[in-house]
């Protein structure tokens, strides 16, 4: 049995899976561990997860590759600017360190949202879709996208393709930790909502519906910010699907409906009708392990045979 391991290394937990190397990539093992921070901590957390996944495998199992998804910038195989992992100094060769500690198994590392894009594409294929271009928009603590164009993950010249959270949404808005004002992420993300609203996203929509003007403003900015991000992705790379995921959009169907209504509003013009952006939107089901699955598929992307391009 040939397998691939995928690790989604988040700021609080490492989610690891072992899947079969062939489609449909059946789940063989799964585990969740807490993340330790700093270079040594992250390498140790990843190796502990690899050991845990390998320890429970059948005797005939052969691990072809390990893939790692991390919340940071990955460029030339090195991880930088992964603040939630306590990595913001020298670039870290995470894949090299994990491979060295795991019997030399080929190991790849990628930004977590980019990795999740491969997992999202696999989910679409499981639904019978045969598309080979896709933007995955992750609305979590921040907002960022992964781009898969003509069947290949778009990494970018500096590893920053799809990092749209710090585009300026309102130049007169509040100061962002990045140093500019009114970045998209301040409105259209989990942290953007928490900055202004103490309850859940569902409670925000309930309060807005019952006449709370602050709640209505925060709701409308959240909705229009996410709709703007979807439009930006559709217009800039003309992908046939924008797959939206993340805790904020999973929280309430009211938000998903409001986003679609806003996108349909834009179809009152001839350009808007031509673009037809609302019909490109899909929602990844809550709990789908796109991050870990996509990390597992990184190994396949590095090889000549890419299973999602039959
Ligand atoms: Zn910013």
226 Cα to the center of ligand 1, angstroms: 15
Residue stretches of the chain with pLDDT short of 70? 302-310
Whole-angstrom CA distances from 163 to 44, 78, 101, 148, 174 are 28, 17, 31, 14, 20
Q: How far is the CA of 176 from the centre of ligand 1 (A)?
A: 5
Length of the chain counted residue by residue: 310
Ligand 1 centre distance from Cα of residue 244 (Å): 21
CA of 246 to the centre of ligand 1 (A): 19
The alpha carbon of 302 and the centre of ligand 1 are apart by a number of angstroms equal to 33
CA of 167 to the centre of ligand 1 (A): 7
233 CA to middle of ligand 1, Å? 18
What's the gap in Å between 182 CA and the centre of ligand 1? 7
> Residue 19 Cα, ligand 1 centroid: separation in angstroms?
37
Question: What pLDDT score was predicted for residue 309?
Answer: 37
Q: Does 225 sit behind a cis peptide bond, omega within 30 degrees of 0 on the bond before it?
A: no
Expressed in angstroms and rounded, the spacing between residue 168 Cα and the centre of ligand 1 is 7
pLDDT digits (tens, 9 = 90+) for 2-18: 999 999 999 999 999 99
Its pTM surpasses 0.85: yes
Crossing angle between the packed helical segments 213-237 and 253-265, to the nearest 10 degrees? 60
Rounded to 10 degrees, the C-alpha dihedral 241/245/249/255 comes to: 0
Residue 80 to residue 113: CA distance in whole angstroms = 15
Q: Go through 108-140 and write b for each residue having 16 or more CB atoms within 10 A of its CB, e for each that does not.
A: bbbbbbbbbbbbbbbbbbeeeeeebbbbbbbbb
Distance 274 CA to ligand 1 centre (A): 32
Rounded to whole angstroms, the Cα distance separating 278 from 269 reads 14
Distance (Å) from CA 180 to ligand 1 centroid: 5
**Residue 208 pLDDT:** 96
Q: What is the pLDDT of residues 157-171, one digit of tens each?
A: 998 999 999 999 999
Distance 90 CA to ligand 1 centre (A): 22
Angle at 228 between CA 264 and CA 253, to 5 degrees: 60
pLDDT score, position 310: 30
How wide is the angle at C-alpha 72 spanned by C-alphas 187 and 178, nearest 5°? 45
Ligand 1 centre distance from Cα of residue 276 (Å) = 29
CA of 185 to the centre of ligand 1 (A): 7
CA of residue 224 to ligand 1 center, whole Å: 17
Q: Which domains does the chain have, with CATH numbers?
A: 2-117+288-302 (3.30.420.40), 132-240+247-283 (3.30.420.40)
pLDDT of residue 237: 96
108 CA → ligand 1 middle, Å:
29
């Amino acid at each position: 049995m040939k397998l691939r391991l995928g690790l989604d290394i988040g700021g609080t937990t490492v989610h690891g899976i072992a899947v079969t190397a062939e489609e449909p990539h059946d789940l063989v093992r799964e585990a969740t561990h807490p993340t330790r921070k700093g270079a040594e901590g992250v390498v140790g957390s990843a190796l502990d997860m690899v050991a845990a996944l390998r320890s429970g495998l059948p005797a005939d199992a052969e691990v072809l590759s390990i893939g790692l998804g991390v919340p940071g910038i990955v460029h030339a195989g090195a991880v930088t600017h992964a603040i939630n992992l306590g990595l913001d100094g020298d670039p870290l060769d995470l894949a090299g360190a994990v491979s060295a500690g795991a019997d030399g198994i080929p190991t790849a590392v990628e930004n977590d949202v980019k990795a999740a894009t491969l997992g999202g594409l696999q989910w679409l294929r499981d639904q019978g879709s045969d598309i080979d271009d896709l933007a995955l928009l992750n609305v979590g603590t921040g907002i960022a996208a992964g781009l898969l164009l003509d069947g290949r993950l778009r990494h970018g010249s500096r590893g920053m393709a799809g990092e749209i959270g710090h585009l300026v949404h309102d130049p007169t808005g509040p100061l962002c930790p990045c140093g500019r004002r009114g970045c998209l992420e301040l409105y259209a993300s989990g942290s953007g909502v928490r900055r202004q609203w103490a309850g859940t996203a569902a409670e925000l929509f309930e309060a807005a519906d019952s006449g709370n003007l602050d709640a209505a403003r925060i709701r409308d900015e959240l909705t229009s910010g996410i709709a703007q991000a979807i439009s930006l992705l559709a217009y800039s790379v003309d992908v046939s699907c924008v797959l939206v995921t993340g805790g904020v959009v999973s929280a309430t169907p009211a938000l998903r409906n409001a986003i679609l209504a806003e996108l349909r509003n834009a179809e009152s013009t001839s350009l808007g009708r031509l673009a037809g952006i609302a019909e490109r939107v899909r929602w990844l089901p809550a709990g789908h392990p796109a991050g870990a699955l996509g990390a597992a598929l990184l190994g396949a992307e590095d090889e000549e045979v890419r299973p999602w391009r039959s």
